[in-house]
Structure 1
Amino acid sequence: MNLQRRLALAWALVVCLLLGHNAWLWLDRRITPDTDILALLPAEQRDPVLQQSFSHMVDSAQQRVVVLVGAGEWDEAVRAAQAFRTTLAPHTALLAPDAASGEAQANWLASLQPHATLLVAAEQEKQLREQPQRFWVDSALARLYSAFSGPKLGSFRDDPFGLFAGWAQERAGETPVRPRDGELFVAGEGREYVLLTFTLAQSAFSLSNQEAVAPLLDKASQAAQAAVPTAEVIKAGVILHAAAAGRQASREIHTIGVGSMLGIVLLTWLTFRSIKPVTLTVLAVGVGFLGALSLCWLLFGRIHLLTLVFGASLIGVAQDYGIYFLCHRLGADPALDSPRLLRRLLPGLGLTLLAAVIGYMGLALTPFPGLRHMAVFSGLGLVFAWLTVVCWFPALIHGHSLRAGPLARGYGAFVKRWPRLSGGLLPMLVVAVLAGFAALGLSRLDVNDDIRSLQSSPPELVRDQIKLGKLLDAPSPVQYYLVRGATSEQVLQREEALKRRLDSLVAEGDIAGYQALSNWVPSQQAQAARMKLVEDKLLGAKGPLAVLGQEIGEDAGWAAETAAHLRSTAAPMQVDAFLKTPAAEPWRHLWIGETEGVHASIVALRGMRYVAIPQLAQAAEGLAGVQWVDKVGGISSVLGKYRAYMGWVVLGAYAIVFAVLLPRYRGRTWRVLAPTLAASILALALLGLTGQHLQLFHVLALMLLLGVGVDYGIFLQEDSGHGDDAPWLAVGLSAASTILSFGLLALSGTPALRAFGLTMLAGTALVWLIAPCFIVNKEEVHATPVLA
């Protein structure tokens, strides 16, 4: 048994193992691709407290679904909301309704009653310092006798001066939501809405959960609108965006993967007019895909859905190796056996694989776990496809297996008339025009690293999210203050110092308000100061309480007993105890607690104006332990940093590839790389002239373009001066297939993939057009020493 046959059998065993492993993964393990978009975010080294704060803000919203059911009249809104709730009632294992509103609202005040005297609104605390005794006596009389004196919580004796009621009203002002008829109510834009909140039983990023929950919410919306045709249903939740991304990615897997494969099949058929090359090409790509999937699962224990979308396109590059062999087999002497032909082609094939893997591995240098997975997936896919060509093609394709189709007969003659780069006037003029075009385009190219430009959620979801945020006056989960301290008391004190600065920003309209745990649990220092203020200003022997007793006809004992009662409801508040009460439910995500020996909390902002971000950042300056966190700005900054970093990596990769090719091509090495370099520059110029903004994913595409484009330079330089059509045909077929793959990727609804695909589409087309210009004639080839 010869060596080629042994290699073919050994590779058949490997492929059988891959098939078995993939069958086990899909049928037994029932793996599901990961759809968490955060996997594409930078895996930067963050301090644990900052990371924990972001997790608190995200996790508090990630597992929730918020729904507003509105109508012109309240009773209609309630009826529509009931229809929505009834539809979901049998599915609490997927989507559990949160405790209803009226009960939760009734319970939280009772849990705070033991501390009522310590809870004073900011405005009333100011009045205690500034207003005379008579102000408080009149205020208490108004509460006692007037029907319009504001809310009353408990008996008159519990809160004669309305301090606790004023504090509760201030807390209620942190949200426009109010209890009404056992529901949560909010109004806006001429409608009245019922607020419904639900908690997911499983992860929002579970594909099976998305497939179950999203249609269920749609069905509930239809039920609400069937009950009240004029009803409006506004839904928001991470799972809705994740489900939309999952559906989009699934469509793109089919469109890009199947479309690319059909293109390869059609081109191969038109070239060879035989089913055998088509089958073998599909086989090589398929083995590459299966091998990449198996090893990526073994390496990472998971596979991202976008990795499959990316790989569905990039594995199409793997057909280059099969096409290179098939084109040479078509043009070779039928008497030359295929193993000997492979040995002649192996140096060029090996260099193309090495250069492509260098390009893919450049992606693995990024700080994005998702991109690293894509790089490893695609690199491994190329290796498996290459080994399939080397091990199987010579054994299955013989001298008389192929015959030229119409594409093969016409393409070689066409490309031979292609212009060559020389010292003549016309070529130099063309080069000068292209250089001017590149300079103009590059001068107009600007950068945009804003992470929001990569958002791809459907417009209706974004519209609902914005509308719901405005109606509920919800705080931003990605811009907030992180407050740290050695103890929980120090954290609360630092929150209070920050809030004093934020009050001026509220007055200026930069923010509508803020949410902080110290709104509910004042620091011990603040509690002591407030109690002293109440004692000095209200409860003294001749103070407002005593005067009030006289004016309402009570004896001296009444004032003493009421003062004692108020002191009894001044029990010191502790954060840990408060967090266990019903009142803490909506605010627990603001308290991080102890992490790495540091106590920390979050101060969230309502109604923030994005143009005020510089002023908000400045508010934290000079305050010990207070840090402004802007995740959007932070991630955008990281994207910009790695865009610049990857630009240098691309230049370094060119140097590495040049060094790898130099021993074989010597003086012609620059001709191998020049087409790809020129195409990269012109592709960037096209981005500038078409108004595109340069971002990280364009630079990543340039890295990959190096790996793909250098193949064409190698193909053409490997056979320079031999006079056959095989290299021309191989480059044409490979480029056409790659353009088809990336052309479909450029239609992706995911902005990052679309930017990547557009750059690859333009770059690959330009390499295809430019590479033949650098071919040298037979005399130049013989004059240049080449290592065999």
Structure 2
Amino acid sequence: MRLALALAWLAVLLLAGWLVAARLEFSGDLRRFLPDARTPEQRLLIDELGEGPGSRLLLLALSGDAPEVLAAQSQALQAALAPDPRFSLVANGAAGDLSAFPADLLPYRYLLTTSFDDTPLDADALRDAFDARLQDLGSPAAGLVEPLLPSDPTLETLVLAEAWAPAAAPEPIFDVWFDRAGARALLLVETHAAGFDPTGQLDAVETIRARFDTVRGDSPAALQMTGPGAFSVDIGGRTQREAQRIGMADTIGLVLLLLLAYRSWKMPLLGALPLASAGIAGLGAVALLFPAGVHGITIAFGFTLIGVVQDYPIHFFSHQRAGLSPWKNVRGLWPALSTGVIATCIAYATFLFSGVDGLRQLAVFTVAALAVAALVTRYLLPGLVDPAPPDIADSPRLQRLWHRIEALPRPKWSLAVLALASLASIVFAPGPTWQNDLSKLTPVDPEAMALDTELRAELGAPDVRYVLAAQGIDADAVLAATAALRPALDARVADGRLDGYDMAARYLPSADVQRARQSALPDAPALRAMLASVLADSPFRADAFDPFVADVERARTAPLLTVRDLQGSPLASAVSGLLLVHPERATALVSLSGLDNPADLATVASAASGADVSLRLLDMKDASESLVIEYRGRVLAAMSVALLLLVATVWIALRKPRRVWRVLLPTLLTLLVIVAVLRLAGVELTLFHLVALILAAGLGLDYALFFEHAGDDRADQIRTLHAVLVCSLMTLLVFSLLALSSIPVLRAIGSTVALGVVCNFVLSLLVARHRAAIEAARAEAEPLA
């Protein structure tokens, strides 16, 4: 009968797991763990982090071979990557690098170029252009110029390609970019995938590496790659490797601990069933309620709940003994077990109202997993266990240990001293209490960060801190407003106050500018007449330039170029990252590199604001810090509500103030001690420390509830001691391994909960346990003697 039930349970788990796996969609977008933006700066920060140009850039460096070999490899790599739809821009400084200029937009070059804004396209301009082309044809550049001549004698294609090259680009060597030392060939790649699309970024990074391996051949050259996408790929791989190592160690430790604790090979197998049920239930719940995707952090953190979920079967196993029906055993434990489950679920359920999608997912996963683990322990697990195992209370070692524990003095005033000392440490510990800098949470290797800083300086890639933002009612208004800033920005670049800048107006002029350029273009008959006059004494034939006449005429009469026309072209990514168009407003961004005097530029932006367009300089660092502070406020509010509900749950379950106080005191003291120790250790608290505190509180509540539930029966106290020892050791193993992780999020969670396990166990043992009946009777009799 027990075997049939186990097989049926396993079959249901396999079927449920298959159904959940088929429905589950994973997401790596960290914006799910950010609160709803309230200010313009916060909204822009979230858009910029995920979609902006800085988040899409990959910086490449080829080194380890002779410069001419590296230059050839750079050319070959650029040629291999440019046609790939994964990339919107692949630039290496080559003169013939026109990948950013799509062929179907070539006729529009006379609406996009600034060449004829001051000097019209007339006979004089054409004469100068053809004289220059004659010289070009006699130079090494002839191979590049000759194919362009029939349609583009003024070389506007090259003019635009140069204008669209990254600002502050390095000087080329062998016709491609090199660093200042001339030892590394540099490339700048912009991906179509957004910065918070880990799958797309992984695909892009792996494609670049594969293409480089092909291009390199037998050369000893090496590829270095940096940028947000490369960081996310490295972090993802490192997280996966650490998760596998930690998971393997946890599994081995769990099996060995259960074998040692119960001397039976069945217990690890039986204990795994509630855990598997909880995991599948949690995944199924979030897959059902969040069809857009479940974040990996939700799943990673959710499965750390092994420390709570495993408590339920362990308490059941430790209290089972001969002469006691498993069903009666679990019914006796159910009041304490269910109280702990309800309290922990209520604590996490408060995150449903945090306004943060990632925390809502975490709440759903946790509540579903804990509830199912408790229910299967209550209604299924008793049908599988041996009804007559050895009684844990008969263990001589545990009896001696409990005897020593009973000899410990009951703490009274010392607890008040501990609480006051912890509060004083929290208040007076040196250094900031909260960590508001998102960048310090990243697990990016310091050497990789140093390389990123170095290559950004070499390539003039945009910074992500300061951004000029123009907000108005439509795209034309904000494009015109940012274009009007170009003289002021160019002046600052010229005198060194600004290294460079980029804006959508570089690629897409406003409608008014395009109309003005159209009206200045000659019509086809006039242009042919000019060509005939200019080329009368030239080796060029006038009829050879019919494609040029056709392109100018099309530019003169074509509908104005809009953002929609750029869709599907490489320019779309550059413009979309700098021009954010919404139904009721539009925002044009100007990314800045090497800004020395933010206040000066903020004054310029403020002065340029008008009735239709507001211009301001945004500090993304301040915006990120304000977002973190707001996020923390919501989590602290949720924790406050959770604490009140936790107290209410324990009060309803126990009803007597003395019992309630005995259960809650260890948990409350533990929370104070954890925060105090972290502060004294110089740890700046993050969101993940706060979330881990909820988990630590749930664990402490379980320990105290079961010590309280054991009452004054010595045998039951020993069984409870055994169960809590096994639970705490298992949880300590899991979270100690997390505390050793190189991933800041996992390290914060692991260290917080591991410290909480130790404090909860010690304080629950000292505060929540009852005196054994024999000891209490002896204590009462002594005064009479």
- Give the TM-score range, shorter chain: 0.7 to 0.9
Structural mapping, 1:110-189, within 5 Å: 114=110, 119=115, 174-176=167-169, 184-189=176-181
Can you give the 5+ residue segments of structure 2 that lack an aligned partner in the other structure?
120-127, 521-551, 778-785
Counterpart Cα distance in 1 of 2:693 and 2:42: 37
Shift of 1:617: 5.3
Q: Does 1:345 align with 2:330?
A: no
Counterpart Cα distance in 2 of 1:588 and 1:471: 23
Shift of 1:286: 2.0
Q: Does 1:195 align with 2:187?
A: yes
Cα gap change, 1:205/1:163 in structure 2, threshold over 3 Å: closer, same or farther?
closer
1:665-702, Cα deviation, whole Å (9 max, x unpaired)? 41221221111111111111111111111222212222
Equivalent position of 1:651 in the other structure = 640
Deviates more, 1:743-752 or 1:578-587: 578-587
Counterpart Cα distance in 2 of 1:240 and 1:587: 19
Equivalent position of 1:730 in the other structure = 723
Cα gap change, 1:342/1:523 in structure 2, threshold over 3 Å: closer, same or farther?
closer
Counterpart Cα distance in 2 of 1:116 and 1:660: 68
Counterpart Cα distance in 1 of 2:112 and 2:88: 33
Corresponding residue SS for 1:289: helix
Structural mapping, 1:231-630, within 5 Å: 231-236=221-226, 238-301=228-291, 302-330=293-321, 334-404=322-392, 408-409=398-399, 411-422=401-412, 428=413, 431-432=416-417, 435-436=420-421, 438-444=423-429, 446-477=433-464, 479-499=466-486, 502=489, 506=493, 509-519=496-506, 574=560, 576=562, 580=566, 587-589=574-576, 592=579, 594-608=581-595, 620-621=605-606, 623=609, 624-630=613-619
Shift of 1:512: 1.5
1:601-631, Cα deviation, whole Å (9 max, x unpaired)? 222212346xx55665565446242244444
Shift of 1:166: 10
Q: Does 1:19 align with 2:14?
A: yes
Q: 2:351·2:638 contact (CA, 8 Å) conserved in 1?
A: no
Q: 1:590·1:601 contact (CA, 8 Å) conserved in 2?
A: no
The RMSD of aligned alpha carbons is: 5.2
Q: 1:34 aligns with which of 22, 27, 30?
A: 27
1:165-188, Cα deviation, whole Å (9 max, x unpaired)? 99998776834167787x643442
Counterpart Cα distance in 2 of 1:87 and 1:113: 26
1:1-38, Cα deviation, whole Å (9 max, x unpaired)? xxxx99x9999867643420313454xx4967433444
Equivalent position of 2:781 in the other structure = none
Cα gap change, 1:402/1:256 in structure 2, threshold over 3 Å: closer, same or farther?
farther
Shift of 1:397: 3.2
Shift of 1:50: 4.9
Deviates more, 1:674-683 or 1:734-743: 734-743
Q: 1:185·1:193 contact (CA, 8 Å) conserved in 2?
A: yes
Equivalent position of 1:54 in the other structure = 47
Cα gap change, 1:651/1:99 in structure 2, threshold over 3 Å: closer, same or farther?
closer
Counterpart Cα distance in 2 of 1:312 and 1:60: 35
Q: Does 1:716 align with 2:707?
A: yes
Cα gap change, 1:737/1:515 in structure 2, threshold over 3 Å: closer, same or farther?
same
Structural mapping, 1:647-686, within 5 Å: 647-663=636-652, 664-668=654-658, 669-686=660-677
1:748-781, Cα deviation, whole Å (9 max, x unpaired)? 3321221122111112211111112213446999
Q: 1:83·1:220 contact (CA, 8 Å) conserved in 2?
A: no
Cα gap change, 1:120/1:767 in structure 2, threshold over 3 Å: closer, same or farther?
farther
Structural mapping, 1:71-110, within 5 Å: 74-81=67-74, 102=96, 104=98
Equivalent position of 2:678 in the other structure = 687
Corresponding residue SS for 2:98: helix
Tell me which amino acid in the other structure corresponds to 1:517.
A
Shift of 1:460: 4.8
Counterpart Cα distance in 1 of 2:647 and 2:88: 60
Counterpart Cα distance in 1 of 2:343 and 2:228: 40
Shift of 1:350: 0.8
1:483-517, Cα deviation, whole Å (9 max, x unpaired)? 22234442233224545665676577553232223
Counterpart Cα distance in 1 of 2:246 and 2:416: 35
Q: 1:273·1:403 contact (CA, 8 Å) conserved in 2?
A: no
Q: Normalising by structure 1, report the TM-score.
A: 0.76
Shift of 1:474: 1.2
Can you give the 5+ residue segments of structure 1 that lack an aligned partner in the other structure?
126-139, 423-427, 534-566, 783-788
1:311-334, Cα deviation, whole Å (9 max, x unpaired)? 33212311111122222224xxx3
Cα gap change, 1:189/1:257 in structure 2, threshold over 3 Å: closer, same or farther?
same
Shift of 1:284: 1.8
Shift of 1:728: 2.2
Tell me which amino acid in the other structure corresponds to 1:755.
A
Counterpart Cα distance in 2 of 1:118 and 1:205: 36
Shift of 1:104: 1.0
Corresponding residue SS for 1:446: coil
Counterpart Cα distance in 2 of 1:252 and 1:761: 18
Tell me which amino acid in the other structure corresponds to 1:440.
S
Tell me which amino acid in the other structure corresponds to 2:707.
L
Tell me which amino acid in the other structure corresponds to 1:195.
L
Shift of 1:309: 2.3
Counterpart Cα distance in 1 of 2:45 and 2:681: 42
Shift of 1:478: 6.2
Tell me which amino acid in the other structure corresponds to 2:369.
G
Corresponding residue SS for 1:694: coil
Counterpart Cα distance in 1 of 2:622 and 2:49: 19
Counterpart Cα distance in 2 of 1:355 and 1:781: 31
Tell me which amino acid in the other structure corresponds to 2:421.
G
Corresponding residue SS for 1:447: coil
Q: 1:616·1:628 contact (CA, 8 Å) conserved in 2?
A: yes
Counterpart Cα distance in 2 of 1:638 and 1:198: 27
Deviates more, 1:102-111 or 1:352-361: 102-111
Identity of aligned residues (%): 23
Q: 2:91·2:165 contact (CA, 8 Å) conserved in 1?
A: no
Q: 1:53·1:601 contact (CA, 8 Å) conserved in 2?
A: no
Cα gap change, 1:399/1:526 in structure 2, threshold over 3 Å: closer, same or farther?
closer
Counterpart Cα distance in 2 of 1:255 and 1:603: 44
Equivalent position of 1:786 in the other structure = none
Corresponding residue SS for 1:191: coil
Q: 2:31·2:46 contact (CA, 8 Å) conserved in 1?
A: no
Equivalent position of 1:136 in the other structure = none
Corresponding residue SS for 2:727: helix
User: How many pairs were matched up?
Assistant: 717
Q: 2:756 aligns with which of 754, 763, 775?
A: 763
Tell me which amino acid in the other structure corresponds to 2:345.
V
